[in-house]
Amino acid sequence: MTQDMLLTMVSGVPWTIALTAVALLIGVVLGIPLCAMRMSKLVVLRMVANTLILTLRAIPPIVWLFFIFFGLDTGFVSLNPFQAAAIGLGLITAANMAEIYRGAMSAIHSGQSEASMALGLSTYHRFFDVLGPQLFRVALPSAASYAIGLLKDSAIASTIGVHEIAFQASHVSQRTFRGLDVYAVAGLLYILLSLPIAWASRWADLHLRARVAR
Amino acid sequence: MSLNSSSIPQADVASRPPLLRLDAIGKTFGTHVVLEDIDLSLAAGEVVAIIGPSGSGKSTLLRCINQLEPPTTGRVTIGDTTIEAGHTPTRRELMALRRNIGMVFQSFNLFPHLTVLRNVSLAQERVMGRTREQADAVSMQLLARVGLADKAQQFPSRCSGGQQQRIAIARALALDPQIMLFDEPTSALDPELGLEVLAVMRELAEGGMTMIVVTHEMRFAENVSDRVIIMADGRIVEQGPSGTVMRNPQTERAQRFLHAVKDR
């Protein structure tokens, strides 16, 4: 393996990180309204949310990316590969985050909500002062494992031409006719990237647990 | 006015205008009738104990008062606010109602992610618009009053059950409620810790606080409350001055219940 090959592959790292980060951000934020709709008292909202979540999760990510990149692009919008991948993976993440939030919500005792209501806290304060922080604490481990999964899934974006790690690996391998070491290096890069997420999650979990033993 | 409230003559209490009124409150879950036609009015300073067998609707009645459980029929009036069953109350009406009613739960329901001080201060800031300094000052006074000023910076998980319940009482008092509702406040505590909570409640009652207490503590019902209400099967089966009801119940259902629990 030459230095040139290695550098080419490492040049994919920022793209992998950026794609994962943007998709995660979209998912973490959009997951909140989606979860709220999913748990709404209004049947219509619940049905819309259910349909969205089911559709986003049931269709393979690669089909979504093709659909967004090749499908939407032909008409009125023009998306570059990175944008298409970020939107696709972001929406899929939103659906999964909504389910993670919902699970976390059911782990929080109903008394928390009742105490907030009895104190006259508005829905806003009930969520942001009482339920939200506890939700964050409960959802963190599942969200972190999802983030690591997302990091790996971002390799799918190579198929529509995002220059991330897997794309560079296949590029180098096609150019040099070497597979074993090239893909081994790619694998190593993914391991190196997922370790900090796992560490950060474990640290935050322990830190929060020490503060708020339940 | 720090009279021992149990010494206030019943006629005196009854002649004051009611602070809280319940008219024909009913609650059904599907086809299951939990409460039927409950009338109740409460004068300022009055302490009412609600006792009765499990499943008699005591807790549901309490939760109907502050609309944690919206009643199916009837009307709740406190001050100028009336909430009628069947109409979804506006946010303002709900706020006005809950602002005036403090509630203490069987399972304490302190916020585990906040310190004891923040637990007591939070709603003062968010609901009453006090500054953090004002709120914390009030909270410290209240924590001192329930004997827990030294726990202010701890998290609730570091406190015993009895301490947590006293903090919950301080948290409810922090909004200067006109009425305090207690939903089996000692049922989750072992007897010794229950006593420290009952002591705080007795002090509150003696200080003139208007209280409705759903309880299994028969001695508290007899000695601290002015009036006792016995419920069974979603109805009030007997009510009256605590001494009379506890020692000399008139209805067969009340006699049966009191006989079963008299040694508690």
Statement: residue A214 has pLDDT above 50: no
Q: Using CA coordinates, name the residue in chain B closest to A133.
A: B113
Q: Work out whether the CA dihedral A172, A176, A178, A184 comes out positive or negative.
A: negative
Rounded to whole angstroms, how far apart are CA atoms A143 and A139? 6
Identify which of B252, B235, B213 has the alpha carbon closest to the alpha carbon of residue B38: B235
Neighboring chain A residues of B122 at a CB cutoff of 8 Å = 119, 121, 129-130
B99's enclosing H/E stretch is helix B91-99
Minimal C-alpha gap between B31 and chain A (Å): 21
Q: Is B107–A109 a contact, with Cβ atoms under 8 angstroms apart?
A: yes
Write the ipTM.
Answer: 0.88
pLDDT in tens, A76-122: 778 899 999 999 999 999 999 999 999 999 889 889 999 999 999 99
In the prediction, which pLDDT does B47 show? 96
Q: A107 CB near a chain B CB, below 8 Å?
A: no
Q: Using CA coordinates, name the residue in chain A closest to B181.
A: A118
The one-letter amino acid at B107: S
Rounded to whole angstroms, how far apart are CA atoms B103 and A119? 8
| Domains observed in chain A | 14-163 (1.10.3720.10)
pLDDT in tens, B35-74: 999 999 999 999 999 999 998 999 999 999 999 999 999 9
In the prediction, which pLDDT does B212 show? 97
The domain ranges of chain B are 101-176
Q: Using CA coordinates, name the residue in chain A closest to B126.
A: A121
Minimal C-alpha gap between A207 and chain B (Å): 12
Q: Is A120–B127 a contact, with Cβ atoms under 8 angstroms apart?
A: yes
Residues in chain B: 264
Identify which of A62, A76, A205 has the alpha carbon closest to the alpha carbon of residue A137: A205
In the prediction, which pLDDT does A64 show? 94
Statement: residue B119 has pLDDT above 90: yes
Statement: residue A141 has pLDDT above 60: yes
